[in-house]
Structure 1
Amino acid sequence: MFEELLQDAVSLSLLGALAGVLAVHLYSILSFRSKAKLEPPGPRSLPLVGNLLQVDLKRLDESLFSFAKQYGSVFTIYLGTQKVVVLAGYKTVKQALVGHAMEFGERFVQPMFADLTGGHGIIFANGESWKELRRFALSTLREFGMGKKLTQDKVLEECNNLIPILESHQGQPFDTTTPMSWATSNIICSIVYGNRFEYSDPRFSAMVRRSNESIRYFGSHQIQLYNMFPRLFRWVKHRQCILNNRDEIIKDVKELLRQRKEKLDPEMCTGVVDCFFVRQQKEEKAGRKQGYFNEENLIFMVNNLFAAGTDTSATTLRWAFLLMAKYPQIQENVHEELSRVLAGRPIDIENRKNLPYSNAVIHEVQRYANIIPMSILHRTSQDVTFQGYFIQKGTVVIPLLSSALYDENEWETPNTFNPSHFLDKDGNFVKRDALIPFSAGHRVCLGEGLARMELFLFFTCLLQHFRFTPPPGISEDELDLSPVVGFTTNPSPHQLCAIKRQ
Structure 2
Amino acid sequence: MDSVFSLIGSYIDWNFKSLLLLTVVFIIAADFVKNCRPVGFPPGPWAFPVVGNLFSFDHTRTHEVLTQYGDVYSLRMGKKWLVVVNRSELLKEALITQGDSLADRPDLPMSQDITVGRGMTFTSGHIWRQQRRFALSTLRNFGFAKTSLQPVILDEFSHCAEEFRRYEGKPFNPHLVMNNAVSNIICSLLFGHRFEYSDEKFQKLLRWFGVVLHTHASIWAQLYNSFTGFMRFLPGPHQTIKQISQGVKDFIRAEINEHKKNWDPSTQRDYIDCYLNEIQMGKDENTFDEENMIICVMDLFVAGSETTSTTLRWGFLYMAKYPEIQEKVQAEIDRVIGQSRQPSMEDRANLPYTDAVIHEIQRMGNIVPLSLPHLTNRDVQLGGYNIPKGFAVIPNLTSEGKFVKPAAFIPFSAGKRLCPGESLAKMELFLFFTCFMQHFNFSMPAGVKPVTDFLFGITLSPKEYEICATSRQE
TM-score by length of 2: 0.88
Match of 1:211 among 209, 212, 220: 209
Instruction: Name the stretch that deviates more: 322-331 or 203-212.
Output: 203-212
RMSD after superposition:
1.8
Which residue, 89, 102, 107 being the options, matches 1:104? 102
Task: Report SS of the residue matched to 1:232.
Answer: helix
Structure 2 vs 1, CA of residues 109 and 184 (structure 1 numbering), >3 Å: closer, same or farther? farther
Name the SS of the counterpart of 2:406 in structure 1. coil
Overall identity of the aligned pairs, in %: 41
List aligned pairs for 1:289-328, cutoff 5 A: 291-328=286-323
Query: Which residue of 1 is the match for residue 275 of structure 2?
Result: 276
In the alignment, which of 338, 341, 350 is matched to residue 354 of structure 1? Answer: 350
Instruction: Please tell me whether residue 161 in structure 1 is matched to residue 176 in structure 2.
Output: no
Pairs within 5 Å for 1:75-86:
75-86=73-84
What is the correspondence of 1:414-453 to structure 2 with a 5 Å cutoff? 432-453=406-427
Aligned amino acid, residue 460 of structure 2: T
Read off the aligned partner of 1:159 and give its amino acid letter.
Answer: F
Q: Per-residue deviation at 1:262?
A: 2.4
The Cα of 1:172 is off from its aligned counterpart by 1.1
The one of 463, 476, 479 equivalent to 2:450 is 479
Moved more, 149-158 or 259-268: 259-268
Which residue pairs with 1:497 in the alignment?
A: 468
Matches of 2:274 and 2:121 in 1, distance apart?
Answer: 20
Partner of 2:19: none
How many residue pairs get aligned? The number is 436
Q: What SS does the aligned partner of 1:499 have?
A: strand
Deviation at 1:50, TM superposition (A): 1.6
Tell me which residue corresponds to 2:44.
Answer: 42
How far apart in 1 are the matches of 2:262 and 2:328? 48
- How far the C-alpha of 1:219 sits from its partner, in A, is 2.8
1:488 equivalent in alignment to 2:462: no
Aligned residue for 2:7? Answer: none
Q: Gaps (5+ residues) in structure 1?
A: 1-34, 415-420, 422-430
Q: Which residue in 2 is equivalent to 1:241?
A: 240
- Give yes or no for contact 2:367–2:461 (8 Å, CA) kept in 1: yes
Q: State how far apart, in whole Å, the 2-side matches of 1:291 and 1:142 are.
A: 21
CA positional deviation for 1:53: 4.3
* Contact 2:375 2:391 (C-alpha < 8 Å) held by counterparts: yes
Structure 1, residues 174-198: CA drift from partner, whole Å, max 9, x if none? Answer: 1111001000110000011121122
Q: Does 1:133 align with 2:104?
A: no
Between 1:35-44 and 1:390-399, the stretch displaced more is 35-44
Contact 2:371 2:458 in 1 (8 A): no
Offset of residue 37 of structure 1: 5.2
CA distance in 1, matches of 2:162, 2:72: 50
| Distance across 1 between alignment mates of 2:108 and 2:468 | 40
Aligned to 1:256: 255
CA distance, structure 2, for counterparts of residue 135 and residue 178 of structure 1: 31
Per the alignment, residue 24 of structure 2 pairs with none
Aligned to 1:467: 441
Deviates most, 145-154 or 48-57: 48-57
Contact 1:155 / 1:187 at 8 angstroms: preserved in 2?
yes
User: Structure 2 stretches of 5 or more lacking a match?
Assistant: 1-36
Return the alpha-carbon distance in structure 1 between the equivalents of residues 351 and 255 of structure 2: 40
Residues 337-392 of structure 1, C-alpha deviation per residue, up to 9 Å, x if partnerless?
Answer: 01011121211111111111111111111111111111111110111223321111
Paired residue type of 1:467: N
Rounded Cα–Cα distance in structure 2 between residues aligned with 1:239 and 1:132: 30
2:221 paired with 1:223: yes
Q: TM-score, normalised by structure 1?
A: 0.84
Q: Answer whether contact 2:103 2:124 (CA < 8 A) is retained.
A: no
Where does residue 58 of structure 2 map in the other structure? 56
User: Does the C-alpha gap of structure 1 residues 336 and 137 become closer, same or farther in structure 2, counting only changes over 3 Å?
Assistant: same
In structure 2, what is the equivalent of residue 366 of structure 1?
362
Among 327, 332, 346, the alignment partner of 1:332 is 327
- Which residue number corresponds to residue 418 of structure 1? none
1:197 to 195, 199, 203: 195
SS at match of 1:468: strand
Deviation at 1:239, TM superposition (A): 1.7
Provide the rounded CA distance (Å) in 1 between the counterparts of 2:190 and 2:329. 33
Secondary structure of the corresponding residue to residue 471 of structure 1: coil
TM-aligned CA distance change 1:481 to 1:279, over 3 Å? same
The residue number in structure 2 matching 1:180 is: 178
Q: Partners in 2 of 1:450 and 1:261 — Cα distance? A: 28
Q: Which residue of 2 aligns with 1:400?
A: 396
| Aligned pair partner of 1:378 in 374, 383, 396 | 374
